[in-house]
Structure 1
Amino acid sequence: MSIDKSWIGKSRNTHEYKDGLNKFLDFAFEHRSLGGHLIKCPCPVCGFGKWQTREKVFEHLIVKPFPENYKVWYWHGEEAVGVGSQAHQTSQIVQDDSTSQHPMVTMLNDAFGVAGPDLNEDGDGDEDNIEDGDGDGDEDNIEDAKNEEHNGENVEFYKLLEDGSEQLYEGCTKYSKLSFLISLYHIKCLYRISDKAMTEILKLIKDAFGNAKISNTFYEAKKTINKLGLNYTKIPACPNDCMLYWGEDEDLQECKRCKTSKWSDAKKKKPANILRYFPLKPRLQRLFMCSKTAQSMRWHASAEKKDSKMRHPRDSEAWKTFDLLNDRFAEDPRNVRLGLAADGFNPFGAMRTNYSVWPVVLIPYNRPPWECMKPTSLILSMIIPGEKMPGNNIDIYLQPLIKELKELWHDGVQTLDRFKNEMFTLRAALMWTISDFPSLGNLSGWNVHSKYACPTCNFNTDSYRLKHGGK
């Protein structure tokens, strides 16, 4: 039986809207309620993140509009069509949210951080008032709130939900529009297919299957995928590795030190050198937005230590000493311990080409040993451009990362823990670096080429000069 949703988007003062809203509430409480008296409120303020009573949800959706793009009621018991699911549009009674949720919905839920139930000790839902400042619920502020809340991140969320439920073509039960696009993008990354080739593939599929809902170009497809978040920032840099055009220096047109122009092409405003930086905070937050990874981020503290053998960095003296010296940080096992790895490589197949790109990678060591070193667990922090290695000037490029690490150590960042369905202050610490010996000199600032090359012995090194070699 199809559900009438024609009332969505109509004026909230009409009987049609109110009748439709009551039918939605009847459906939601029949199929997906918490304890029989709470459901996730879909209003723009709650954004599916708060569990409310029927009266409260009705009040919220009279003051604020029902989200127009929420056409398939995932969080209220309606089954979606997508990857691996059968083509049912009927509803069913679902008892367990975690086992029934569709894979595409779960992915979007993780990406946008939609929260679960937030109950107080009495078991009641959050009773936050959503009226305007003077408390009279005036219509004056409704449009402002709509523009502020509904036209921001929530709109992207609803659009992706719509793409996740829309069939790739009429009658397709295996792929939705979004799941097909993500699968295709996954193949591109695995086999290093160029953007130009992907555009031609999309054109071919579009031509062969005219009724398929596919983007015309890969550029358009990337726009959809970018809505999932975790993008990177382009920061112009001096080609001589003197400085970043970042922060207070963002508007400078030439290097403060060597006076080299910021641009390789001043007319097109094309920077001479670009650092690609991947912000750390949202990536650490994302680890806790999925209940599975949020649970594994506690492994170092919760897993049983069967013997005295060292199977994980948590068993080392360095880890234990750090915990003793920073007991407040160690109190919460969710605080992240990171390792930093950096080294250069030639991205071109022809090794005769002199080029050295330096990726900087972070490893979260909270996770178990069989997970933390997998490629999917590694966090790419930045890509330092070539053609030459940055050497001791690597400090210039590390500035954005160091700034974020300081903020994560002192202030932390508010993060949703999906395993416990609660907010907490996430902090992080850089425990150690991983590199070869020359790179160690660049990262630490210690001169690894002189007679005091050993960073452990420092000035207590006994050195000898070779009689015939001169070293």
Structure 2
Amino acid sequence: MAKRPVQDHLLLKPFTKNYLVWNRHGEIQPAEPSSIEVQATPYQENPLNTLMNDVFGHHGDEGITGVNDAVIHNGGKDIADERLHEASFDGSEFNEFVRDGNEKLHEGSKCTNLEFIIKLYHINVLCRISDKAMTMILNLLRDTFDGIRLPSSFYLAKQVICKLGLEYTKINACLNDCMLYLDDNSDNVQDTCKYCGISRWSLKKKKKKQAAKVLRYFPLKPRLKRLYMCSKTAEHMQWHNSAPARDGLLRHPRDSQAWKDFNATHTLFAEEPRNVRLGLATDGFNPFGALSSTNSIWPVFLIPYNLPPWMCMNHTSFILSMVIPGRKSPGNKIDVYLQPLIDELEDLWNDGVETFNSSSRNTFRMHASLMWTISDFPGLGMLSGWNTHIGLACPSCNFDFYPCYLRHSSKWCFIGHRRFLGRNHRFRLNRVHFDGSIEERGPPKKLSGVDILEQQQGVETRDQQRKESHSSGKRPRREVKQWNKQSIFFDLLY
């Protein structure tokens, strides 16, 4: 009944055109006070200062003086010197890094020299610009703008970024993936492979010795210690222990039975929630896209599973461990390239490393463990040594499986999934929609690590396989076996 009068009133006396915000309905607006209250603008921390604080400690804009003041205000505990020692920097490099971080790009600029170089390097990586082109851009900026403080070449710019602790190690490798040249020193430099005898150096470069194949390895210890340098990340690294399990569903690896069994077996490791649990993932890709189809490079990533589920699988949380060079896939010889990582993981498991926790402001001995590997089926065969190219390819069924070969398509088929159903399930008796037989088997037996080691008793060691493969002029014809090798990951068990 009241709808019609309201509509008439709106037609006779409509809202004014400048009436945009309908928050008043005829009431008298109170008079505003004559004095103007000045609101303080919220403080916004410079992201570059946050980055420098995470690497060196909270020094602010005062350089070394600010560090000493921070030590005094923290009850005399030399936190800054401890972080400075962990970052492996001396005082001169630290002063130079702070100067680059505080020096303006030019007079009146809001951007510092270091901040501009980091953004420029980010563009170089995303747009795949060559170093020569970046040097030309830097020279153009130096010639165009007077008083701008930039390095004369992109090589010098990268030297500034290397002070952030993002360097890697170059390890020469055999061209046939036989070995890594790890034992080199100034007095003893090995020029040929001890297995195949091929030269270590590239024949294309005659004036200067250049390795034919180079492994880029990123040390793991400083990158794990870096996770605890930032106070926010250090708190997230303990999420798996502090966050309550609400509904009992599998939402994170910590909810799995494997995680719980690991805690029950290794109680000393589980008592310290700051110990790192890692997963390893690898796969090959073609770095040249459609321009070439003969290259295959294999990056190896580590995933810290201490982080919450919305962070641990984010690409920003991945730790690049190494880049295995091409042109061909390493195959079963991937263990040769994983040797530096396995040595470091073994050291982290047995001895650990002293790490500063910025959230609690104390030092603890951090240990690490490799929990799982993530890969596709061909990658599984390379990492584990289990032959995935024949009928017994399923690692869960192991030898308890009946292979099925499709003759017309020349493929192996895996149709034994009915054995996982309940005993009274109707699919077990269905002959028509499956392979024409009744499924009476139960699920396969779950094998332990001891059972797997017993199966690998007759498998040749890696050194024996490499020596036999190069003992004659051609590669010997090998018998097709289910276990091709004993994976290097089993070295962590001894």
TM-score (normalizing by structure 1)? 0.69
Deviation (angstroms), 1:451: 3.2
The structure 2 residue matched to 1:394, chosen from 312, 326, 334, is 334
Separation in structure 2 between the aligned mates of residue 127 and residue 181 of structure 1, nearest angstrom: 31
Give yes or no for the alignment of 1:251 onto 2:202.
no
Separation in structure 2 between the aligned mates of residue 207 and residue 272 of structure 1, nearest angstrom: 39
Measured against aligned partners, the alpha-carbon deviations of 1:409-449 in whole angstroms (never above 9, x if no partner) come to 11000011001111111111111000001110100011112
Separation in structure 1 between the aligned mates of residue 142 and residue 75 of structure 2, nearest angstrom: 51
1:349 is aligned to 289
Over aligned residues, Cα RMSD in angstroms? Answer: 2.8
Give the 3-state SS of the residue equivalent to 2:333 in structure 1: helix
The structure 1 residue matched to 2:350, chosen from 402, 405, 410, is 410
Give the 3-state SS of the residue equivalent to 1:458 in structure 2: coil
Give 1:418's aligned amino acid. S
Measured against aligned partners, the alpha-carbon deviations of 1:317-342 in whole angstroms (never above 9, x if no partner) come to 11111111111111111111111011
Separation in structure 2 between the aligned mates of residue 307 and residue 118 of structure 1, nearest angstrom: 45
Separation in structure 1 between the aligned mates of residue 144 and residue 71 of structure 2, nearest angstrom: 49
- Unaligned 5+ runs, structure 1: 1-98, 131-147
Give yes or no for the alignment of 1:242 onto 2:178.
yes
The structure 1 residue matched to 2:92, chosen from 128, 131, 155, is 155
Label 1:344 to 1:334 Cα distance change in 2 as closer, same or farther (>3 A).
same
1:68 is aligned to none
1:435 is aligned to 375
Label 1:266 to 1:445 Cα distance change in 2 as closer, same or farther (>3 A).
farther
Give the 3-state SS of the residue equivalent to 2:95 in structure 1: helix
Give 1:247's aligned amino acid. D
Give yes or no for the alignment of 1:220 onto 2:161.
no
Measured against aligned partners, the alpha-carbon deviations of 1:364-403 in whole angstroms (never above 9, x if no partner) come to 1111111112221100000000000000000000000000
Separation in structure 2 between the aligned mates of residue 397 and residue 454 of structure 1, nearest angstrom: 26
Equivalent residues of 1:112, 1:228 under 8 A apart: no
Equivalent residues of 1:118, 1:421 under 8 A apart: no
1:85-104 equivalent positions in 2, closer than 5 A: 102-104=46-48
Give yes or no for the alignment of 1:106 onto 2:50.
yes
Deviation (angstroms), 1:110: 1.6
1:453 is aligned to 393
Give yes or no for the alignment of 1:374 onto 2:314.
yes
1:171 is aligned to 108
Deviation (angstroms), 1:283: 0.4
CA radius of gyration, larger in: 2
Deviation (angstroms), 1:278: 0.4
1:9 is aligned to none
Deviation (angstroms), 1:170: 1.3
Deviation (angstroms), 1:186: 1.7
Deviation (angstroms), 1:215: 1.0
Deviation (angstroms), 1:306: 1.3
Give 2:134's aligned amino acid. M
Label 1:243 to 1:412 Cα distance change in 2 as closer, same or farther (>3 A).
same
Deviation (angstroms), 1:152: 5.3
Label 1:266 to 1:427 Cα distance change in 2 as closer, same or farther (>3 A).
farther
Label 1:446 to 1:184 Cα distance change in 2 as closer, same or farther (>3 A).
same
TM-score (normalizing by structure 2)? 0.66
Equivalent residues of 2:354, 2:366 under 8 A apart: yes
Separation in structure 1 between the aligned mates of residue 395 and residue 388 of structure 2, nearest angstrom: 8
Measured against aligned partners, the alpha-carbon deviations of 1:197-246 in whole angstroms (never above 9, x if no partner) come to 21111111111212111111111111111111121101000010000011
Deviation (angstroms), 1:351: 5.3
Label 1:326 to 1:127 Cα distance change in 2 as closer, same or farther (>3 A).
closer
Measured against aligned partners, the alpha-carbon deviations of 1:145-204 in whole angstroms (never above 9, x if no partner) come to xxx99x9522111111111111111122x2111111112212222222221221111111
Equivalent residues of 1:105, 1:161 under 8 A apart: no
